[in-house]
Amino acid sequence: MARILRKSQTRLPEIAFTAHVWKEGTTFVGYTPELDVSSCGDSVAEARARLREAVSLFLEECSQRGTLGAILAESGFEKRGQSYRPRRIISRAKFRLAVPLAS
C-alpha cells in the first residue's frame, strides 16, 4: 500500500497591532502606532483593510531586507512562540493642556 506524504505546513509568525481610524474630510485614515504605518479609504472598513495590507507589505519588505527582527525589536515587540506581541500598555490617559499662543 502506498503512503501519501504531506508537506508539513509551516506556520508563519503572527503579529498583533493596534488600528486607529479617524476621519479627515471625506477620507478615513487608518494608523498603527506600533509600526508607524498608515493608509486610508472611503470607509472605516476600507481604511482598516488597506491598513492591514500596508502593514503586511511593510513587514514583507522588512523580512526580504533582513531587517524584520531589528525593526520589530526597535518598535517594542517581543517574540513569543510563533507570534510577536507589542509592549504591554499599563496605563492609558487623555490629557488637556493650554497651548501658549505666539505673540
Domain of 34, in residue numbers: 14-79
The grid coordinates listed for 5 are 506524504
pLDDT of res. 14: 85
Using one digit for the tens of pLDDT, what is the confidence trace for 49-64?
Answer: 999 999 999 999 999 9
The listed range with the strongest mean pLDDT (7-16, 30-39, 90-99) is 30-39
The grid coordinates listed for 41 are 479609504
Residue 61 lies in a domain: yes
**CATH at residue 61:** 3.30.160
Residue 63 lies in a domain: yes
Residue 24 lies in a domain: yes
Residue 88 lies in a domain: no
Residue 84 pLDDT exceeds 60 = yes
Residues 6+ apart with CB under 8 A from 26: 42
Residue 9 or residue 71, greater confidence? 71
Residue 100 lies in a domain: no
Residue 73 pLDDT exceeds 80 = yes
Residue 55 lies in a domain: yes
Residue 8 pLDDT exceeds 60 = no
Domain count, the chain: 1
